[in-house]
């Protein structure tokens, strides 16, 4: 296993990414506070370049590549958000990118990945070991493998979203009791946990996952990496990792306060709320943390909560389900 990143690595990533990523704003809304009984601080990563937080980690990882590693290009596997983020980050540095994507990935994510000039190879989501596929492709091409979450530089880059939220809260005279973070493989929540550890150590960090794909919550409860059964709805396509990463779980096990799971109906309600009140287009996976707070899975009354909305790359037909 690679060396584990630290809070200092998140700080270094923030300095490295300054001017390259969007410092997304901290949002508040009186209706959200009234509904939850608390003070809710929203980090809207749909406003990030490529439409999700993934651009942070992908850019940090590409910038950290030694010059001699760039010649072979980069390879990853992704349902879409990391793929398009890595494609964009690689293009900005003149590095070739090959992205392995599931055949049922949302069209908007496939099109965006192609737009950045990346080569795409498709695989069967249910019957392919995506990690083995990406490793083989990287070895064949002599490329650097940059996985979606289980990579120190990716994790450190993702943590800059949490660091910014802590800083913006402090500037507003607030300290978060807890930060709720959308979780798939665990890279974003691990990075946020590292950010909080050094910048706001009294703040709990909670993983929010789709029902049936709550492998992080189950693993935290068991004290070991467990796999989801893979039988839950695929509606939150960005968060369908079967098990936590080796690196991410090593970081999350001692740092997270736990995990919660939300239903498809709760996700749809959160997507509609974000559209109506925050004026944000949020993809299903990106709405999971907000859904957890709106549904009361994470108590907000009398508390100050941070909520990371992780992405907004949603096909129109899927988004329309939230608006009916």
Catalytic site residue from 43, 52, 54, 200: 54
Measured between alpha carbons, how far is 171 from 23 in angstroms, rounded to an integer? 14
Beta bridge mates, 92: none
Report how far apart, in Å, the C-alpha atoms of 175 and of each of 41, 98, 199, 203, 216 are. Answer: 10, 41, 10, 8, 26
HSE-up of 296 (CA within 13 Å, CB side)? 4
Report how far apart, in Å, the C-alpha atoms of 5 and of each of 65, 152, 251, 321 are. Answer: 16, 5, 8, 39
Residue 310: active-site member: yes
Catalytic site residue from 79, 88, 200, 310: 310
Measured between alpha carbons, how far is 249 from 308 in angstroms, rounded to an integer? 19
Measured between alpha carbons, how far is 88 from 287 in angstroms, rounded to an integer? 23
Mind telling me the catalytic residues? 54, 310
């Amino acid at each position: 296993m690679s060396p584990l990143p630290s809070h200092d690595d998140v700080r270094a990533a923030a300095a490295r990414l300054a001017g390259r990523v969007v410092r997304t704003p901290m949002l508040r809304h009186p209706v959200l506070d009234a509904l939850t009984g608390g003070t809710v601080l929203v980090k809207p990563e749909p406003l990030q370049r490529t439409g999700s937080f993934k651009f942070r980690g992908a850019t940090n990882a590409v910038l950290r590549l030694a010059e001699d590693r760039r010649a072979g290009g980069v390879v990853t596997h992704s349902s879409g958000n990391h793929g398009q983020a890595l494609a964009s980050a690689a293009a900005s540095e003149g590095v070739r990118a090959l992205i392995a994507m599931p055949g049922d990935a949302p069209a908007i994510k496939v099109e965006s990945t192609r737009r950045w000039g990346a080569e795409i190879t498709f695989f069967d989501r249910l019957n392919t070991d995506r990690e083995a596929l990406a490793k083989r492709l990287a070895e064949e091409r002599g490329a650097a493998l940059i996985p979606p979450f289980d990579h120190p530089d990716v994790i450190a880059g993702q943590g800059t979203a949490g660091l910014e939220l802590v800083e913006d809260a402090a500037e507003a005279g607030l300290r978060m009791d807890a930060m709720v973070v959308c979780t798939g493989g665990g890279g974003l929540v691990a990075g946020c946990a590292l950010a909080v550890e050094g910048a706001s150590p009294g703040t709990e960090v909670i993983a929010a996952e789709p029902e049936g794909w709550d492998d992080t919550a189950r693993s935290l409860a068991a004290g070991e990496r467990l796999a989801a059964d893979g039988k839950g709805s695929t509606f939150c396509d960005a968060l369908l990792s079967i098990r936590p990463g080796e690196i991410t779980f090593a970081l999350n096990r001692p740092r997270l306060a736990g995990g919660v799971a939300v239903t498809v109906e709760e996700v749809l309600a959160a997507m509609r709320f974000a559209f109506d009140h925050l004026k944000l287009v949020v993809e299903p996976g990106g709405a999971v943390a907000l859904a957890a707070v709106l549904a009361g899975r994470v108590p907000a009354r009398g508390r100050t909560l941070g909520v990371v909305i992780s992405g907004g790359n949603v096909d129109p037909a899927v988004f329309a389900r939230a608006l009916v």
